[in-house]
Structure 1
Amino acid sequence: MEHTETRLTWMIGARVKELRARNGLTAQKLADALASEGVPWERGTVTKLETRRRDNVTVNELLALAKVLNVAPVHLLVPLEDDQPMPVTPETMMQAGHVREWVRARKALPGTDLRIFRTEVPLSELAAKREFFETLADRGDVDRDVINRINPEMGLGRKRGDADG
């Protein structure tokens, strides 16, 4: 079995080839666009990636490819077919749909500490999440105890505006 990094690079290469065609770009035009973004690729580099003759893509290259090809980086990294297996690590294969949700921070991988997964976010996102749950609880749509069991990081207390809360 080939190295995980190589398999991921080949998957990225296939998506780049597909998106390059969809965007009407030649390999040279893609290389030129990447160069204008500070990634000094040549036509041959694009061709090597698309024909499985390149074994890696740096994070900077992935981000520049996504920008130039007008897609989110996740759509270069993760196959579009939800049920397609893909490597997460050399020892872990998962369905692409689950990996995509993990990359988007919507669903944790099995064995993940959910408290860390849900709270290692920008404070603005955590505050927005708390506000959302507070609103649901205040309207009576969801019980505060249920919210606290599902999202212990929220630590919702009594209803906002309660005199002793």
Structure 2
Amino acid sequence: MTQNDWSERLAGAVAKEVRRHRKRQGMSAQELADRCANLGMPLKRSVLANLESGRRTTVTLAELIVLARALGVPPLLLAFPVAQEEHTEVLPGQTVGTWAAAKWFTGDDPFPTRDKDSGNWFVTSDDFDEWQSGAEAIDRMRWQDRYFAQLSGAHSRAEGARKAAETASTSAEREAHLRTAEAEQRTAEAIEREIRFNRNAMRKAGLTPPELRPESQHLDDITAEDRRGASGQ
């Protein structure tokens, strides 16, 4: 078995998924070619036909990305057909569960290894250490997504409590809603400190945080209070 054999099989697996997604959408090969061209990377209908038929045995990363966008699916699903194939030959001669391969590809899990005697899957300590080190950037990005989801929730609950206070039928009810709004506002401020701390930590680690929305630009202002208050620092 050679590396070329595996790369051809991998290209064939991608081609199979391209054809499946195209057929599922009732899209002709010419329509797919036109969509690729509109995205800035022309792929002739004949090229797509040769790919799907197996006459073309290579797929570049650029082609994978533009085909995925043209088909409206994540690029991951063309490389690793989750929920379509039980196993995937993720490396030459190394077949793993397709979902496990997908999670390794996205940085969610380390690379799995099958025990020759029991057939069970496990992760070696070396693979875990390498994954843990390499996945730092992805992990920090995901944490920021979680922080912003929590921040949005706190702001929404605070606003809801303020509106409820405006229509409260008694002063006691109004005061209760205002206390809730204040508590949610404090929660939002604490989350903002965590976001600032996380973004600052990313920069110190040589990483580039994702772009902030205009209304959130203030979150890149690191203060002494933020350094003391975030993550128990």
TM-score by structure 1 length? 0.70
Aligned to 2:56: 54
Distance 2:134 2:75 in 1: 20
Distance 1:43 1:124 in 2: 38
Using CA pairs under 8 Å that are at least 6 residues apart, name the structure with larger relative contact order, 1 or 2.
1
Q: Give the structure with the larger helix fraction.
A: 2
Distance 2:131 2:12 in 1: 31
Distance 1:121 1:102 in 2: 12
Cα 1:25/1:118, change in 2 over 3 Å = same
Aligned to 1:40: 42
**Unpaired runs of 5+ in structure 1?**
132-159
Cα 1:41/1:118, change in 2 over 3 Å = closer
The residue type paired with residue 133 of structure 2 is I
Is 1:116 paired with 2:133? yes
Aligned to 2:162: none
Cα 1:68/1:83, change in 2 over 3 Å = closer
Listed one character per residue, the Cα deviations across residues 111-136 of structure 1 (whole Å, up to 9, x for unaligned) are 242431331437544556799xxxxx
1:3 match: secondary structure: helix
Does structure 1 retain, via aligned residues, the 8 Å contact 2:87–2:97?
Answer: yes
How many residue pairs get aligned? The number is 137
Does structure 2 retain, via aligned residues, the 8 Å contact 1:83–1:97?
Answer: no
Aligned to 1:64: 66
Does structure 2 retain, via aligned residues, the 8 Å contact 1:33–1:68?
Answer: yes
Distance 1:80 1:123 in 2: 25
Q: Specify which of 8, 11, 23 is matched with residue 10 of structure 2.
A: 8
CA displacement at 1:56 relative to structure 2: 1.1
Aligned to 1:80: 82
Distance 2:30 2:85 in 1: 33
Distance 1:73 1:54 in 2: 19
Does structure 2 retain, via aligned residues, the 8 Å contact 1:82–1:97?
Answer: no
Is 1:23 paired with 2:25? yes
Across the aligned residues of Structure 1 and Structure 2, the Cα RMSD in angstroms comes to: 2.9
Distance 1:34 1:127 in 2: 33
Listed one character per residue, the Cα deviations across residues 41-74 of structure 1 (whole Å, up to 9, x for unaligned) are 1111111111111111111111111111010011
CA displacement at 1:5 relative to structure 2: 1.1
Listed one character per residue, the Cα deviations across residues 14-36 of structure 1 (whole Å, up to 9, x for unaligned) are 11111111222111111111112
Distance 2:142 2:7 in 1: 31
Cα 1:124/1:17, change in 2 over 3 Å = closer
Cα 1:130/1:58, change in 2 over 3 Å = same
CA displacement at 1:80 relative to structure 2: 2.5
Distance 1:70 1:16 in 2: 11
Q: How does 1:92-107 map to 2 (within 5 A)?
A: 92-107=94-109
Distance 2:51 2:109 in 1: 30
